[in-house]
Amino acid sequence: MKKSAIYLFLLPALVFFWGCAKLDTYPGGDVAPYIALFDIRNMYKGKDVVLTKENMFGSDKIAVTVISDFRAGNMVPGLLIVQDRRRLNILRGIAIATEEAANYVAGDSLVIKVEGATLKKVNGMLQITGVKKDDIKKAASNITFPLNRVTTAQLVANPQIYESTLLVVVKGGFDPLPQPGDVLSGNKVLNDGFDYIKVHTEAGASFANTQLPVLANVYGIAFYTEGADGKAVPELRMRSAADMVALSSTIEVSPILITGFLADPTIITDGGYEYMQFMATKDIDFAVTPFSIVTSNNANAATPTGFLPNGWATGGVRSYKMNLTSGKVTKGSIFYVGGTRKMINGDASTSIAEANWIKAFDYVALNGEGFGTKTSNLLANSGNASGIAVFTGTTVTGTSRPVDVIWVGTGGSLYAAGPPAIGYRITNTDWYDLKNPITQEDQPFYRSGTNTLNLGYSTEGQWYMLGGEYNVSLGRWTKLRAQNNKMLTKTSALTEIEGEGTTKLKLP
């Protein structure tokens, strides 16, 4: 019995050891022959690197898609620009120094042996040098690559990410404003509301004499050079005339800009203490050229309910209008519209009556001028979306387009795609577009298409400071408005909401 027990105990152990013996004979897997450009770029630490199987984790090749195209004459001679997404679907690109560069076009799929080549920085740009003609094998043609939308600020801040990749800068405007006869040839400054970059076009490029548009989507390859301070400086190069899609040739200068507001003053009941700040981009005599301000409240209990065919002009609790029909404001100066109290942050706070109040209206006791039910909360404090819009004239209908608009929050019955589509209309601003910048489809309402940007709700006593830079000559924001909440106290001064951080106006 004892021997039988011992045998039964040893049997599982023998099976275990046999299993281990079989594992010892497993041949293992093969190392993939292709290394990702993400890994290649990360190997460079400031010194030249000779690429070997050892430092490429056993690989010796890259499998990439060509994005450079020499047919229009605007590429850097001798640099084949390729990209891939082999590491976690992360896009990276690199330049290959080769005399064969012009023999390949955008969309070619290549397998390139890079073992023995050298990774180095040349004129501020990372390159693989020493690649021979026979090291490059074409595998396919007409490969497409997904659109990579990038801001100029991202290009400036992240050369490691965007260098040698194909991208598009949306709603780019050239600065200074293009004049008749101004063409692409040379170095042009492009701004998309985030930062400024250079667009370079060789004088001999087939599209060098193309007229500069006022506004465009600019596709191209991100090249970098080394600046005087040693930092990488981006330079966008288009590959053909098709890489620039003109969006507009009309300058629309908004006469009034929304620059800030106090929705939740430090007081139990907000009525009479809420107010909004605006900036004029031209001299305005409101008795001669009237405007109107409309606010929107979309709380669950607000009436009428549901989606609104008349949008801003609905009235009831959903929208409230005040007319600006008297007073004057000079170009570049600030003015205010709001309740009758004229205090910076609720009861017993600093009086700001000395500011330029174009409209101080008793919205607690009076219905709106044209539409809107009297209310103790002109500007919502939380919950569903609320908005502010500026309109030319004092007649606002469901088809009226504002000259500026801003939204807080996203909830509520705001937009229905229809048909017919209904909702709150927007205009072309730093945040909103009447047409989709990429597809050019109509999107005239908040929450339609790409019109989804909004402010977040602040807390009690916080001033919504919408700092940005508006260029009157260009008719556009060269630095987009951003939400910079500023906490106010009972003793805060007017200079706190009109000083550093407020919108800057760039005049001709």
Output phi, psi for 159, to 5 deg: -60, -35
C-alpha dist (Å) from residue 199 to 218, 220, 427: 9, 9, 28
Cα dist from 191 to 24, 176, 177, whole Å:
62, 10, 11
Alpha helices in 266-364 (DSSP H): none
The dihedral built from the CA positions of residue 369, 258, 454 and 430, taken in this order, carries a sign that is: positive
In CATH terms, 152-248 corresponds, of 1.20.81, 2.40.50, 3.40.50, 2.60.40, to: 2.40.50
Q: Please identify which residue in the block is written with the tokens 């007409």.
A: 142
CATH of 37-140, one of 2.40.10, 2.40.50, 1.10.10, 2.60.40: 2.40.50
Can you give the pLDDT at residue 507?
Answer: 87
- What is the per-residue pLDDT across 264-283, written as a single tens digit (0 to 9) for each? 999 989 999 999 999 999 99
Q: Where are the alpha helices (DSSP H) in 302-419?
A: none
DSSP 486: E
Token pair in block for residue 146: 């997904």
CA distance 49 to 186: 34
Of 212, 231, 222, the C-alpha closest to 166 is 222
β partners of residue 442? 435
Which residues 6+ apart lie within 8 Å of 499 measured at CB?
A: none
Give the residue extent of every domain in the chain: 37-140, 152-248, 251-508
Q: Token pair 């209206």 is at which residue?
A: 361
**pLDDT value at residue 13:** 44
Query: What separation, in Å, do the N-terminal and C-terminal C-alpha atoms of the chain show?
Result: 106
Contact 303, 315 (CB under 8 A): no
pLDDT at residue number 205: 98
DSSP tag of 350: -
Closest CA to 213 of 193, 243, 234: 243
Q: What backbone torsions phi and psi does residue 462 show, to the nearest 5 degrees?
A: -95, 130
Q: Is the dihedral of CA 309, 311, 317, 320 positive or negative?
A: negative
Q: CA 405, CA 463: separation in Å to the nearest integer? A: 17
Q: What amino acid occupies position 261? A: F
297-312: burial string, b at 16+ Cβ within 10 Å, e else = bbbeebeeeebbebbb
Do 444 and 425 meet the contact criterion of CB atoms below 8 Å apart? yes
Give the whole-angstrom CA distance, residue 171 versus residue 416: 26
One-letter identity of residue 269:
T
Find residue 284's DSSP bridge partners.
329
Mean pLDDT per block of 10 residues along the chain (508 residues) reads 41 42 48 92 96 96 98 98 96 97 98 98 95 97 92 96 97 93 97 96 98 95 92 96 89 96 95 98 98 94 93 97 98 98 97 98 98 95 95 98 97 95 97 93 97 96 96 94 95 96 91
Task: Return the pLDDT at 15.
Answer: 41
Integer CA distances (angstroms), 408 to 167, 261, 386, 476, 488, in order: 31, 11, 5, 21, 19
The token pair at 277 is 């700040």
Q: DSSP assignment, residue 30?
A: P
The backbone region for 211, taken as left when phi is positive above 0, alpha when psi lies in -120 to 50, beta otherwise, is beta
Total length of the chain = 508
pTM value? Answer: 0.87
Which residue, among 436, 447, 342, has the nearest Cα to 387 in the 3D structure? 447
Give residue 435's pLDDT: 93
- pLDDT at 12 (0 to 100): 45
Same topology, domains 37-140 and 152-248? Answer is yes
